[in-house]
Amino acid sequence: MIGAIEAGGTKFICGVGNEKGEIFEKVSFPTETPEITLAKVVEFFKDKNIERLGVGSFGPIDVNPKSKTYGYITKTPKLAWTDCDVIGYLKKHFDVPMFFDTDVNGAALGEATWGAAKGLDNCLYMTIGTGIGGGALVSGKLVHGMLHPEMGHIIIKRHPKDNYEGKCPFHKDCLEGMAAGPAIEARWGKKGYELPSDHEAWDLEAYYIAQGLVNFILTLSPEKIILGGGVMKQEQLFPKIRKEVVELLKGYVQTTEILENIDNYIVYPGLGDNAGLLGALALAL
């Protein structure tokens, strides 16, 4: 029995599964204060006899095992969770090995283990939802560093016809500020799922997401790019994004993935809505 937690800013999903990526049982509840939310986590796992636990979390988080604040959610805009010792709290209740990483790093590992990037050593997972984040597997290892990548906050070129100021509380018009779900809603006055599939919002969306992907293709060289999160439920985005990526690269990257197989290169998560939870499971393995 392996425990997995997808700790999201909107909801938490807890599950138990095995090394084959089979989930036996799961629950989901909205993210409230740490006290309420973590108590529900403990309640779920307390009679499950877990041998290890993987946690894929919203961030920023401290993933450096040598740091005093390892296992913490650190300076998050979700203020109640600032400096929350998630792993410390769980360790008090479960004396098992725990593995803590960003939700998107987990999802990248899950996709490389069982999903769309199965068998590959290099892949990129991006979520386009309430925020934008990316996790990357490079040469078989999840990318960490000084902190962990924060791929949603890269600087991008503004579309000449787009006057929207941007929604990021730190940078205003970074990628997340221009293209995450809340930016779509603020720009057009409607939630993404209320806009028709032929709305100009999706051309703009593809324009921004493609810029992000081109930067990551050029820096990380992923063998597969997986795009998840609520906004990517808009299937019409995929062909638009692929086309923009090819145009922006201007023939500079001459790989079969880009030149001949782009439909199979930029894809929806193979694990679907389970990408986050199975990602956490993969972290525990």
Q: Which residues bind ligand ADP (CB under 6 A)?
A: 8-10, 127, 129-131, 181-182, 191-193, 229-231, 233-234
Q: Which of 96, 143, 115 has the alpha carbon at shortest distance from 282?
A: 115
Q: Which residue has 């919203």 as its token pair?
A: 58
- Which of 87, 156, 168, 277 binds Zn ion (CB under 5 A)? It is 168
Phi, psi of 228 (to 5 degrees): -120, -165
Query: 246 by DSSP, 3-state: which?
Result: helix
If we measure between CA atoms, which residue out of 194, 13, 30, 228 comes closest to residue 111? 228
The smaller minimum CB distance to ligand ADP, of residues 6 and 173, is found at: 6
Q: Which is nearer to Zn ion, 151 or 249 (CB)?
A: 151
Give me the least distance between CB of 272 and ligand ADP, in Å please: 12
- Which is closer to Zn ion, CB of 26 or CB of 171? 171
Q: Which is nearer to ligand ADP, 170 or 193 (CB)?
A: 193
To Zn ion, the closest distance from the beta carbon of 131 in angstroms equals: 9
Q: Find the binder of Zn ion among 153, 159, 199, 233 (CB under 5 A).
A: 153
Told to check if 174 binds Zn ion by CB under 5 A, we report yes
Question: What is the b/e burial string over 61-89, where b = at least 16 CB atoms within 10 angstroms of the residue's CB?
Answer: bbbeeeeeeebbbeebeeeebeebbbbeb
252 binds, among Zn ion, ligand ADP, none (CB under 5 to 8 A by kind): none
| C-alpha to C-alpha distance for 176 and 146, rounded to whole angstroms | 21
170 part of the interface to Zn ion, by CB under 5 A = yes
Tell me the HSE value of 272 on the side-chain side, using a 13 A CA sphere: 0
Omega of the bond prior to 60 within 30 degrees of 0, cis? yes
CB of 38 or CB of 128, closer to ligand ADP: 128
| Buried-state track 155-184, b at ≥16 Cβ within 10 A, e below 16 | ebeeeeeeebebbbeeeebbbbbbbbbbbb
CB of 254 to ligand ADP, least distance (A): 34
Q: How far is CA 66 from CA 63, 71, 75, 283, in A?
A: 9, 10, 18, 18
Closer residue to Zn ion in complex, CB, 85/150: 150
Position closest to ligand ADP via CB: 181
Least distance between Zn ion and beta carbon 166 (Å): 8
Interaction between residue 193 and Zn ion (CB under 5 A): no
Residue 153 binds which of ligand ADP, Zn ion, none (CB < 5-8 A, kind-dependent): Zn ion
CB of 1 to ligand ADP, least distance (A): 26
